[in-house]
Structure 1
Amino acid sequence: MATPEPRAAEVALRFCDAVYPGATTVILGGSSSTGRRTATSDIDLLLIGPPSALAHAGADGAESPRSEARVAHRFGERFDAFAYTAEGFRDWSERDFASLRPVLPFLLTEGHPLRVGSEYDELYRWSADRLELGPQQTAHQLELRRYAITDLIDDLMDATEPLAAAAIRADLFRDLAQLALLASNSWLGSGKWLARRLSAADPLSAEALREFARTPDQTEAAERASRLLDRLGGRVDGDLVR
């Protein structure tokens, strides 16, 4: 496990004691947990505890709060804090799994524990077991994604308006990256996490997309996308029943 940035760990516990003193499990996530913080990095925190540990009614609006997400500035730092009861953590994690982007389970299993309560081991095992299964997409689900990518490649080939071409390229990059991840039974991410997860799961596809992103010529970019799609199962033309 990577060593967390010392100041981040210190102020994270100070923030927790000040705002969520009842939290029994405190996990430091993101770049703060790996010692790779930059000047603009915030501090990601996952907190788990009884309902009394949550300062306000949760996102689900329940009278007895089960979850809360807040951005706060304390001690010269910005905190992105996600606070849950054990039940709330499971519920929101299920939504993450359904979206194919299990942010919370990864935060729990890849973050650095600063404090662990009695619920930690069970939630960690539950999260790790689900993550290990992967998204398990069917052949038809992957085919639908290839069908959409086929259309995007054709649209990029035909695009004449620069703004439309840029939008198509952005969608094509994202959709190819997601297809590559799902084809390798790997979970999705967004932004920098999409790139990081793809680089770890499928380095060849990651490099192909780097070249796609570097290619200024629209036709050549479309051809690079086509070659990557060929590696991932090929074009799908015609109608598909969704």
Structure 2
Amino acid sequence: MAVDGIDVARQLVRERFPEARAAWLGGSVALGMATATSDLDITVLMAGAPAPYRESLHYLRWPVELFVQTEASLEHFLALEHGERQPNTLRLIGRSHVLLDADGGGERWRALCAKLLAAGPDPLSERELRSARYGITDRLDDLIGSADPGERLMIAAALWQAVADLLLTGNGHWTGRGKWLHRELADFDQNAGTTFARRLAEGVRAVASGSVEPMVEVATEVLNLFGGRLFDGFSMEGPR
């Protein structure tokens, strides 16, 4: 399936972008993690207009996500995602198959993105850390105090994301959303010898089954790694 996806992606680039400088296939197919519903995540580097833009389409029965960039737009997104600690573009290019490299930019950008990806995000500031601790404390209290099963499940889902974000970024690791948050957690666990990805998922399942204790336990454990609960004395400046 992956080999077929690479061939299809290369054919699409040849047909639709004959003037492209470079193109990469990233995402699940490139990483050998494709499922029956995986799409082709293709980033294309152009010299100028009509880039930058993105487009979703089907090509030879494959769903395709196109990210058509210029060097300026690549630099913009890399900076934006670095600040958010969610390296979507870094992943798509740094862990990719080069589909086209007309001027050496394909390999150069892939090497740069791989280097930045390996370096990890900036450390959390004290303000970011306190805000994360307060947010998790607040959600924990909401979960413990709620008597509505549907409400508890929604709180648990938000708590899973907040706890995972703190654990990852607090340890100098990239974070993500959806499946990529779980994948980043699994990668962290593999390197650290921990089991947080499994335990957080089990915590959400336990809340769905009527028990909040496993989620409270793992969330509190992560909080304690970074100074514990925070409520009294927390403050934030408003916009100026």
Check whether TM > 0.5: yes
Moved more, 169-178 or 65-74: 65-74
1:192-207 to 2 correspondences below 5 Å: 192-202=179-189, 203-207=194-198
Match of 1:59 in 2: none
- Give the distance between the partners of 2:168 and 2:135, measured in 1 at CA: 16
Gaps of 5+ in 1: 52-63
Task: For 2:141, give the aligned amino acid.
Answer: D
Residues 61-140 of structure 1 correspond to what in structure 2 (within 5 A)?
A: 64-117=49-102, 118-131=104-117, 132-140=119-127
Q: TM-score, normalised by structure 2?
A: 0.86
The amino acid across from 2:232 in the alignment is G
Q: Secondary structure of the equivalent of 1:28?
A: strand
| Residues 229 and 103 of structure 1, relative CA distance in 2, 3 Å threshold | same
* Aligned-partner Cα distance in 1 for 2:88–2:196: 22
Render the CA deviation track for 1:173-223: whole Å, top value 9, x for unaligned.
000000000111111111111011111124333233133133230244323
- More off after superposition, 75-84 vs 232-241: 232-241
Q: Could you tell me how far 1:74 is from its partner in structure 2?
A: 1.4
1 CA distance for matches of 2:26 and 2:214? 39
Q: Could you tell me how far apart the structure 2 residues matched to 1:36 and 1:91 are? A: 28
Opposite residue 101 of structure 2, the aligned amino acid is V
Alpha-carbon contact 1:70-1:80 (below 8 Å) kept: yes
Amino acid at match of 2:44: L
* Partner SS, residue 195 of structure 2: helix
* Bigger shift: residues 15-24 or 125-134: 125-134
Counterpart amino acid of 1:86?
Answer: E
Deviation at 1:133, TM superposition (A): 4.2
Specify the alignment match of 1:171 in structure 2.
Answer: 158
- The equivalences for 1:1-242 within 5 A come to 5-51=2-48, 64-117=49-102, 118-131=104-117, 132-202=119-189, 203-215=194-206, 216=209, 217-242=211-236
- Seq. identity, %: 26
Structure 1 residue 78: Cα displacement: 1.1
After TM superposition, the runs of 4+ consecutive aligned structure 1 residues lying more than 4 A away are none
Measured after TM superposition, the shift of residue 116 of structure 1 is 2.2
| AA matched with 2:182 | A
Deviations 1:42-75 (A, max 9, x none): 1111111212xxxxxxxxxxxx444110001111
Of 201-210 and 179-188, more deviation after overlay is shown by 201-210
C-alpha separation in 2, matches of 1:111 and 1:166: 36
Distance in 2 separating the partners of 1:74 and 1:120: 23
The answer to whether the 8 Å contact 1:208/1:228 transfers is: no
- The question of whether the paired residues in 2 share the 8 Å contact of 1:26 and 1:113 is answered with yes
Q: Residue 61 of structure 1 aligns with which residue? A: none
Partners in 1 of 2:114 and 2:181 — Cα distance? 19
